[in-house]
Chains A and B, each alone.
Chain A
Amino acid sequence: MIEREVAWRVFAYEFNSSDFFFHEGDERSPNYLVTPTGARINRLYIVGVFTEIDNLKSEEDMFRARISDPTGTFTIYAGQYQPEAALFLSGVDIPSFTSVTGKARIYEPEKGTVYTSVRPEELSITNSSIRDRWVVDTARLSFERIQLVRRALDSKMNDEDLKAMLIQSGASVELADGIARAIKYYSGLDKYLDELTVVIINALKTLLPKDHHPVIGTKTSKKIGPDFDEIIYELMGQLDKGEGVQLAQLIDESGQSGLTEEQVYESVKNLMSEGKCYEPRIDILRRV
């Protein structure tokens, strides 16, 4: 009996900064994408928002969809060998909350350039509370991995000793193996872990209500008042006559409320990462 592969939780930011794909054993053994925090991904589970779905029809249907989480976007591809997923994608509205289990894939058009994507197994439409819970769970699990990688780097241990130490510290066998591989493969991990931590903290902040000031800010936290986001969001609703709002128009209008161009960009970015607005075409914005 082959045991089912666990579905890893990683944010798009980390998934897309992974380029270590490996395969061991015979052709039936699974492929793995190892992320910088040592997630050894064959399967993953993501919950996010569809922001774009295209049919790249050449001879057969081939759907490409973008799913956004608060840190970035996952790209998923479904073609003739994923008929159910392709059928599903052909009938989905944008934007909508979705949950996906799928397999990690990479595309390497030339040496050194790696694009990650997901080949979906199961897709479904879901809601914002399930998405919020996914963000919390994914943040928690990513943070645990970050701490374990830091411990691994500090320990100066290798291979079997390192794995035994990590399992002792609560890692699964798969994660211990992934971390042992990641610290050999990725350079500059220390700096990357700091960046990732900030990205995850900002992702968590998107879950907090606007009037919530629970924690001391970090060096990287932006001093944008939450009210600005609200003003822009309101404006977007007022200006939208059914086809979205031009970014330039939004900047003009909000200038009257005393907002600078930079503040508008910042608020739009915040709204997008919270899944409250999206960009159907370049420089056109719409509320979700």
Chain B
Amino acid sequence: MEKETVPLLEEIIRALDTTDIAIDQDIIREELVRLLEFKVPPDEAKRSLLKKYAASDIQQKKKIADIQGGERNIEIIARILNINLKIVNIRGEERPIFIGTMADETGTISFTSWDDFGINKGDILKITNCFVRIWQGMPQINFGPRSTVEQLNPETTDPLSNKELNNPTPLAEMKTGTSFAHTIFRIVEIKQQNINTKNGPKTIINGIGADSSAKLPFTSWIINPELIINNTIEIKNAHVRSWQGLPTINIDEFTTIHRSKTVLSADDIEEVLDPAPVKLNCIINRDGAFDVIVEGSIISIRPGSGLIKRCPECSRVISKNLCRVHGSVEGIDDLRIKSILDDGTGVLTIVLDSNLTQKVIDYSIEKAITIASTAMTPSVLEDEIKSKLLGRIMRLRGNMTRGEYGITLVATDAQLIEIDTITEACTLIQEMQYPILQGEDL
């Protein structure tokens, strides 16, 4: 027997030992050697033997942060943060499934339960026989009839209760998927909203919080007297989920809310509320950025800019008056710009709606339609946009999100920027000469 196979054999036996199955080490050794003689890679040989002798009953215990996608047969202990009923149609049959979010001390993850286990929000569960699949780019826990779901005592086993709370995290560093967010912010906008949930209508609170680093939206599923405008609050055990591409702080009954001892004044957050342009490399590595200002060169106008037609029912962009959902429709004229903004430190796609497009190219949509119909082709507008904008410096305000089309900023405001290049050149010359003159003095 080769030297290298010894540790592998030990690994296999150790793994099988954790089950109640009686094993004969000699047989396993023999089969392992045989598999390796067949040039089966060691990992595959191990997998094959584990499968054969353990009847695939080996549960791998996993923490949420370690889940990558594609795992099978794992065991998870987590708290249910929320759960909703959904009726899906599977092969012509209506079937209830449950979708929601769960968390342990390492992170949060969404899940789908294909069976009714009577799970309620807040339950601490040990779930066996889960599998993980990638759904919309994120791993998601799935479990169903082959799984067991065991209620654990929340007093002793809450995976989040022993979590040591670290220092508060600045809003700019909030990551989607954090399950125990601890942060301090000032409430700069707040409103109530009535929604329908599994358990009937419910009032939730939507708002925007700000600290000296960033602004972020938050949603509270509970009513709390501290949630009022201009209050600085400290929250612990909130979880951060992606909502419309932006990290959003979710506050629920497990979150503690206090009025913060350190109060963020209007001055502290002034720069965030009335932001200065940021360099693109400062934000493009974030999960999303809420209400930022960026500035850069328009280096490319993308196809689909200019005069487009939308379906009157669903607003999808259509061509030849055919909507892929609603069939033949009378399209509505619209203007937009999709372009690449690059400041030399980073790059993103920007999208301007009809109003902003009209503002930056100084055309009304009526004029655009006239020009297009005179030229007999709508693409003439794309050329117009190119000649007006390519190479120009544009400043935009809006939300940056990261999605399947890359990093995108949907503009809430846009303007072309002219600077006095002479003044700017003088300033730079002075800055650059300073160290040289210093060098000469030495």
Contact = CB atoms under 8 A, between A and B. Distances in A.
Interface of A: 1, 3-9, 45, 47, 99, 101, 122, 124, 126, 129-130, 132-141, 143, 170-173, 175, 194, 197-198, 200-201, 204-205, 207-209, 212, 214-216, 218-219
A136 B426 contact: no
Given A173-B285, A208-B425, A143 B432 contact: yes
A133 B419 contact: yes
B299 A101 contact: yes
A253 B130 CA distance: 90
21 contacts: A6-B344, A45-B342, A122-B300, A126-B391, A129-B421, A134-B297, A139-B428, A139-B432, A141-B344, A175-B281, A175-B345, A200-B432, A201-B429, A205-B429, A207-B422, A207-B425, A212-B422, A212-B426, A215-B429, A218-B433, A219-B440
Nearest to A98: B391
Contact of A172 (B281, B407, B424, B440): B281
Contacts of A200: 432
A143 B419 contact: no
A83 B425 CA distance: 37
Given A124-B391, A197-B432, 11 more contacts: A8-B344, A47-B391, A101-B299, A122-B299, A124-B387, A130-B391, A136-B428, A143-B432, A173-B281, A207-B422, A218-B437
Most-contacted residue by chain B among A1, A205, A219 (CB, 10 A): A1
Nearest to B342: A7
A7 B429 contact: no
Interface residues of B, number: 42
B340 interface: yes
Interface string B267-279: 0000000000001
Interface of B: 279-281, 285, 297, 299-300, 340, 342-347, 386-387, 390-393, 404-407, 418-419, 421-422, 424-426, 428-433, 435-437, 439-440
B422 A208 contact: yes
A209 B405 CA distance: 45
Contacts of A205: 425, 429
Contacts of B392: 130
Given A47-B391, A122-B299, A133 B421 contact: yes
B298 to A, nearest CB: 10
A1 B405 contact: yes
A136 B407 CA distance: 27
Contacts of A99: 299, 390-391
Contacts of A171: 281
A216 B285 CA distance: 41
Contacts of A3: 406-407
Given A6-B346, A6-B347, A136-B425, A126 B432 contact: no
A7 B299 contact: yes
Given A133-B393, A136-B425, A137-B297, A6 B342 contact: yes
Contacts of A170: 279
Contact of A136 (B285, B386, B424, B431): B424
Given A122-B299, A136-B421, A45 B404 contact: no
A4 B302 CA distance: 13
Nearest to A39: B344
Contacts of B391: 47, 99, 124, 126, 130, 134
Given A9-B344, A126-B390, A130-B391, A143 B421 contact: no
Contacts of A124: 386-387, 390-391
A124 B307 CA distance: 21
A8 B342 CA distance: 9
Contacts of B430: 214-215
Contacts of A1: 404-406
Contacts of B342: 6-7, 45
Nearest to A140: B428
Contacts of B440: 219
Nearest to B440: A219
- Which 3 pairs from chain A and chain B are nearest by CB? A172-B281, A130-B391, A9-B344
A171 B426 CA distance: 24
A207 B432 CA distance: 16
Contacts of B422: 207-209, 212
A216 B434 CA distance: 10
A275 to B, nearest CB: 14
A122 B386 CA distance: 11
B44 to A, nearest CB: 23
Contacts of A139: 425, 428, 432
Nearest to A202: B429
